[in-house]
């Protein structure tokens, strides 16, 4: 691979581009994404808006940087569903992982033996987030809206078609659809039959490192070299784990952003039909096992709106949370907070769960409630570390870890040492997978080692 590399990361809240030249980040920029809400729990983004923002970001790269690019690789968020019907003009909505339209359908399906069979085939939990769930919902609730010619695509296919004109999808991203057989690396015939669709309704599967050519129109529009190779890449969660392994040599990773996830890299497929960890393919004898929660930093965002509306920035509020840890003791004077503001994924897989405070007294303080919120989020994540069997030092990334006090509390509650590094992000994972090298500028910059306090951890185990 030529070393002047452009990574494109299409996440849930932002679109990011970064150029890496011989391990050094020479340029990066981001654009905030808009997510829309609709009836029945619909959550979607606009295909048109995403491509407009990508165009602006690419044109914003200095010409001298653009002309040096020889490799492009892509990361996208998992679980997106983009119905494209050639007979319809309503093809702009891409339903994302937080879409809850299929909650009722999946609640019923989870009770069936077939759901356990499908999970064992795919390694993808049975939950409303997946394309499998959304297609099943659309087929049942809107049988006339989508014809037999509808193609069921996603965010990755949107970017690849824009850049290369090819209707393809990489194995790792396909693995998170709930339609992909992880054992055979193909679309699963039984699952497709259950949905009454065929392979012609889906993108062609390719390996993540299959080189593709740019469309001539893209070469001309952005002043890129004709020789640029485009690699399909993988999904953001898988790449975050790969980045952690490359940057620190540690296969365990924890990310707390809007949501949160615990992951570890394994040489074998690991499945649990009851608790349903995810297990996603990256390459032969390399799988990313993990468990996600809907309720990470978004819970703290909610707390700011409730307790400090219109007062200061998010970082100011994080400092207030730090102060609450000194004003309220471990256990928040008995106040408990269940953080299920968005239902919950692992280990409950129940979209109907709700958040609640318990053990409130007339003596309960604001600091008690704030501490209980942070403890509730982290105690919930501890369940995920137990599910994934993460028992040793873990790399940590995400905005949550920019705050020292919150980072220390996370280590204490989880009972593992944390290696906080900003390099555990998808673009770094793409670069390291393609080159076998870490991103130098991200490797140790601003890294912190956090040792958990055994005594504090034991108090949280009681």
Question: What average pLDDT does the segment 214-226 reach?
Answer: 97
Query: What is the reported pLDDT for 441?
Result: 59
245, part of any domain: no
Domain boundary among 205, 237, 269: 237
pTM of the model: 0.91
Whether residues 39 and 178 fall in one domain = yes
pLDDT band for 445, please (50, 70, 90 cuts).
low
Decide if pLDDT at 313 tops 70.
yes
Whether residues 229 and 311 fall in one domain = no
| 369-400 pLDDT per residue, tens | 999 999 999 999 999 999 999 999 999 988 89
Q: What is the mean pLDDT of the chain?
A: 94
250, part of any domain: no
Whether residues 231 and 316 fall in one domain = no
Whether residues 311 and 190 fall in one domain = no
Decide if pLDDT at 132 tops 90.
yes
Q: Rounded CA gap, 145 and 273, in Å?
A: 34
Whether residues 96 and 223 fall in one domain = yes
Q: Are strands 186-187 and 286-293 parallel, antiparallel or unpaired?
A: unpaired
Decide if pLDDT at 245 tops 90.
no
Decide if pLDDT at 354 tops 50.
yes
Sequence-distant (6+) residues with CB within 8 A of 436 are none
**CATH number of the structural domain spanning residue 456:** 3.30.420.40
Burial 74-105, CB ≥16 within 10 A → b, else e? bbbbbbbbbbbeeeeeebebbbbbbbbbbbbb
Contacts within 8 Å (CB) and 24+ apart, 315-323: 315/402, 315/403, 318/402, 318/403, 318/406, 319/403, 320/370, 321/370, 321/371, 321/373, 321/374, 321/403, 321/405, 321/406, 322/403, 322/404, 322/405, 322/406, 323/367
Contact 356, 213 (CB under 8 A): no
| % pLDDT > 90, the chain | 82
Whether residues 179 and 66 fall in one domain = yes
Looking at the DSSP bridge assignments, the partners of residue 101 are none
User: Residue 341: which domain range?
Assistant: 297-461
54, part of any domain: yes
| % pLDDT > 70, the chain | 98
253, part of any domain: no
Whether residues 67 and 195 fall in one domain = yes
Whether residues 201 and 307 fall in one domain = no
346: buried, middle or exposed (CB in 10 Å: 19+, 13-18, 0-12)?
buried
Number of domains in the chain: 2
Whether residues 233 and 302 fall in one domain = no
| 148-204 pLDDT per residue, tens | 999 999 999 999 999 999 999 999 999 999 999 999 999 999 999 999 999 999 999
Whether residues 227 and 314 fall in one domain = no
368, part of any domain: yes
Domain boundary among 219, 237, 255: 237
273, part of any domain: no
118, part of any domain: yes
Query: What is the reported pLDDT for 443?
Result: 47
Looking at the DSSP bridge assignments, the partners of residue 187 are 180
Q: Rounded CA gap, 296 and 31, in Å?
A: 22
Angle at 185 between CA 153 and CA 92, to 5 degrees: 5
Cis? peptide before 347, omega within 30° of 0: yes
Sequence-distant (6+) residues with CB within 8 A of 36 are 42, 43, 44, 45, 46
Looking at the DSSP bridge assignments, the partners of residue 44 are 36, 95
Question: What average pLDDT does the segment 12-29 reach?
Answer: 94
Query: What is the reported pLDDT for 230?
Result: 98
290, part of any domain: no
Whether residues 335 and 201 fall in one domain = no
Sequence-distant (6+) residues with CB within 8 A of 32 are 13, 14
CA-wise closest residue to 12 among 110, 115, 99: 99
Q: Rounded CA gap, 149 and 87, in Å?
A: 8
Domain boundary among 217, 237, 257: 237
Contact 192, 247 (CB under 8 A): no
Whether residues 322 and 209 fall in one domain = no
């Amino acid at each position: 691979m030529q070393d002047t590399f452009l990574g494109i990361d299409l996440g849930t809240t932002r679109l990011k581009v970064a150029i890496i030249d011989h391990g050094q980040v020479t340029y990066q920029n981001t654009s905030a994404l808009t997510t829309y809400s609709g009836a029945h729990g619909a959550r979607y983004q606009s295909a048109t808006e995403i491509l407009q923002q990508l165009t602006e970001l690419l044109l914003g790269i200095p010409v001298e940087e653009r002309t040096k690019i020889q490799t492009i690789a892509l990361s996208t968020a998992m679980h997106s569903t983009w119905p494209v019907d050639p007979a319809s003009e309503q093809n702009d909505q891409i339903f994302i992982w937080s879409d809850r339209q299929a909650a009722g359908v999946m609640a019923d399906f989870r009770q069936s033996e077939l759901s356990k069979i499908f999970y064992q085939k795919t390694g993808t939990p049975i939950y409303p987030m997946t394309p499998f769930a959304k297609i099943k919902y659309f087929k049942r609730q809107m049988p006339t809206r989508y014809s037999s010619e509808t193609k069921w695509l996603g965010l990755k296919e949107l970017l690849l078609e824009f850049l290369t004109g090819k209707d393809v999808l990489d194995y790792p991203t396909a693995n998170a659809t709930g339609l992909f057989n992880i054992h055979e690396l193909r679309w699963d015939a039984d699952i497709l039959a259950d949905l009454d669709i065929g392979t012609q309704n889906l993108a062609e599967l390719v390996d993540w490192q299959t080189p593709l050519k740019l469309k001539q129109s893209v070469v001309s529009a952005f002043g890129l070299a004709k020789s640029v190779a485009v690699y399909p890449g993988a999904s953001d969660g898988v790449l975050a784990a790969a980045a952690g392994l490359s940057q620190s040599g540690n296969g365990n990773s924890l990310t707390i952003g809007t949501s949160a996830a615990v992951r570890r890299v394994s040489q074998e497929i690991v499945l649990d039909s009851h608790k349903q960890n995810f297990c996603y393919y990256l390459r032969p004898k390399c799988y990313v096992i993990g468990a996600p929660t809907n309720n990470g930093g978004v819970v703290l965002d909610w707390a700011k709106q409730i307790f400090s509306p219109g007062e200061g920035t998010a970082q100011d509020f994080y400092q207030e949370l730090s102060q609450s840890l000194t004003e309220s003791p471990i256990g928040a004077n008995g106040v408990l907070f269940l953080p299920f503001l968005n239902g919950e994924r692992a280990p409950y897989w129940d979209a109907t769960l709700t958040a609640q405070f318990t053990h409130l007294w007339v003596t309960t303080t604001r600091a008690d409630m704030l501490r209980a919120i942070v403890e509730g989020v982290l105690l919930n994540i501890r369940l995920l570390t137990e599910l994934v069997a993460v028992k040793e030092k873990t790399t940590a990334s995400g905005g949550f870890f920019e705050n020292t006090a919150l980072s220390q509390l996370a280590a204490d509650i989880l009972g593992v040492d944390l290696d906080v590094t900003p390099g555990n992000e998808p673009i770094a994972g793409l670069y390291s997978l393609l080159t076998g090298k870490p991103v130098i500028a991200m490797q140790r910059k601003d890294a912190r080692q956090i040792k958990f306090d055994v005594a504090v951890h034991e108090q949280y185990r009681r």
